Structure 1
Amino acid sequence: MAIRLNTKILLGFAIALSVLVATSITAYVTIQQLSRYTKLVEHSYQVLQKTDNLRLAIRDAQSGVRNYLMVSDTSYLRSYATNAAQIPVQARQLQALVADQPIQHARADTLCQLLDSQARELALYRAYPPSPAVAQALLLSERQPLRQFKGVVTRLRLSEEDLLLSRNRQQSIYQNLAPSAIIFSAVLAVIIVLWLFNKIVGELKANDRLRLELTRTNLDMAQRIRAMEHLTRQVVQGDYKVKITDSGQQQDRLASLGQLLNQMTQALDVAFTTLENRNKELDQFAYVASHDLKAPLRGLSSLVQWIEEEATDLSPQLRTYLTQMKGRLARLEDLINGLLAYARASRAERQLVEVRVPDLVREVADLVVPPGFELVLAPGLPTFLTDRLSLQQVFTNLLSNAVKYHGYTSPGRIAISSHDLGQQYEFRVQDNGPGIAPEHHQKIFLLFQTLRDRHTAESTGIGLSIVKKVVEDQQGSVRVESVLGQGATFIFTWPKSK
């Protein structure tokens, strides 16, 4: 598993810090041990020094008493007194120095007993009158205690010298170990730091190479994405022959996406070419319908009219039949005209012009609204850039629908208002006609669906279907709000052209 650069740096510093801590601990322990054994060596030297001092003090005290007895010179008694006073002090100090060593402490106790015995004996001989005989007796009585004293001192010194030798060896070991441990730890720390520095430099170089590679990859991806954006804009504008030439060296997801976009534009080009051909066929059908189908209808209408004009002895029943025939022919012509209008509703070329809605509505009303109707335009109807013909077609069908289904049970009234929704305008066309039951609100926008009798000439059921088709082609919506007997309000939204 690859370790990140930050982790490597932290790990290296942790190792270096651990080595430095270990070095510090080793140096501290070594120095402490060196200090300890130095004190022990000094302690052994002090013990040896005290034994020498005791040996010299007892010798000088004995010599002072003997010399006094031999020559009767009291100056020797001063030497005796000085050494006799030092002997107990030196003995107590020696006992204190060897208190941590039971064997040596026992020897020091024995030595103190011998010193006390000798001190008492010297004090006793000091009280005798000076004479060579007394001095000779003192010398003879000192021999046995002196041999014991020398034996104890020798054993104590030999044991302490062995301790001194061992302590000197330990001191030498720690004297040599401390610098070696410090130097080894320092060298190891330097090696670790150099290794860490080399790793960091290598990682930084690798990161630089990776950053350059990522920069090149990002530039390449940005160029390829811009090419895809250009293709998308061209498709939105209607150019379906545009292609992407992917300069990427590897077959990645962007290359696959580019190939799919090329396939999409090719499929769109084929589909829209086919659609254009179908539209041309529909135009041809409209031409045939408007000429080849309407011509026989006009002939039949003319024939019925001639029969009414020429025949003078037609019965009332026959005239009723002729009237019904004229109505059927008129309805059929209206259906053909409605179908043609529905087929062409969203295929007309859109031309964006500035439209003043109040003027447009008045123009439409002059054509489809009879004089007996009241037309109310709310203030604030907008002026904006849009497809005038499509908006005119919507208002024409809605106004003519309001007039057609009014019923003339009351004075006709049509009110038009608008509301700005931000990206769209919402228009409301409200009438005071008979209204529409809620269950028929969706039905009225279907082709050939009408709430009147199908034999009524004015009711083809196509007008509101055309409104719905035109509005939805403009990315808008249309609905109706109505209750039976309370008029109807048709509401549609219309986008603002940018």
Structure 2
Amino acid sequence: MDTTESKNIVRSLYLSFFSTLAVIVLVTLLYLASQYSQKWIVHTNETTTQIHNVSETLLKAESMLRGYLISKDPEYRIDYKVQIAKLRGEIDQLKIKTLENPSQQENLRKFEALVNERVLGMDNNMENYVLRTPEENRKRTGRVETLRLIDAIDNMRDIMLIEENALLLERKSTYDTIYVLSLIALSIALLLMLFNVYAVRKRLIPLFTKLAENNDALIELVHSRDQEIALKEAQMEMNEDLIHQMEDKNKQLNQFAYIASHDLQEPLRTVDNFIALFEEDYGEKLDGEAGTYFDFIKGATARMKSLITGLLNYSRLGRSGTRSKIDLNKLLDDINKDLGTRIEESGTVITKDTLPTVSGYPVELRQLFVNLITNAIKFTPPERSPKIHISVSDSRLYYTFKVSDNGLGIKKEHLDKIFNMFTRLHSAKEYEGTGIGLAFCQKIVELHKGKISVASTVGEGSTFTFTLKK
């Protein structure tokens, strides 16, 4: 799926979400408005009912007054007082209902004043009425004024009812408008949601198709990876078996080298002993040429002993003990003391960086540095004082050491074979040795999970580089 298609899908989702949200908000607002409008319609109806209740209660009070005036029955008097108290309460309720309408409150004040005047007149009649002739009674009660007051009360009641009816019509009209708008909004919302569903579906179906295809491809990839993992596990098991076999072979070879070299020393000792006896018994009888031959035999025997001893020591590498922490600075100081006479006679100058403490085999690491230092001293021209520098650098997993000298140097074509067993680049007359020292160095470095190499310039010197795992 390209970037443009992704943006289009995201844009459609955003549009659908926000348009739906806007419609929901609009419908919610319309619903709240309709509830608010309906509340005021109910309020107006309650106010109208309350106005009628005041008027009806006043009429009941007048009926109770007339019954009392006619019969002088105290029950009518009590009922009259009850209706007047009720009238007061209903007028108070009406005041509460008209709090939001100043004009109605003004009408209510006038209405209340007229009602109070009427009640005052009825109370006066209740307390002071004496039964006389009809003509005298009409004159005493002020019938004309009473009728005028009642008409005024009725007129004010009608004015209040007319205003409440007008408010009711207005609020019903508002409610109807909100209702129509709500229906329109719901219709628009429904259409918009259908459109959004269509638009999103149109864009998502190709995406889901691609996802299904990618899922199938991913399942195949996982299956192939599982097969690769199973194959690698099988290969690892084979490698482990091969490693075990190689370890067994190495043990057998080392054991063979040890036994062979040990057993080879016995006939050499026999030859050496018989040569010594032969010289002792017949030395005076031999001429000069025969003595030379015996010297060659003794020299060859001595070299053979050295080679066998080197082979024995090589097979014993790594068997000196357990690994431990070794301070290489102290190790180099001890080596300098042990080689003190040779260093002093040759005028050798040895310098070094501050060396680390490493984990390794103490005897083997000592042999490593001794071999490299003695080789550097041995293969330096007599007219030149040997200069040896030991440096170190640090990485995450390894220490890298460099042992540099100013010796003879090594020809390029010999660099690849100098770590082989019994490799000599010079004759025994020029430089003594068995040719096994650098093979020792390589095996010691490999025991410590490292590698060793050499860089050299003929006539200028060599630099041996090796790593030790931390």
TM-score (ref. length: structure 2): 0.49
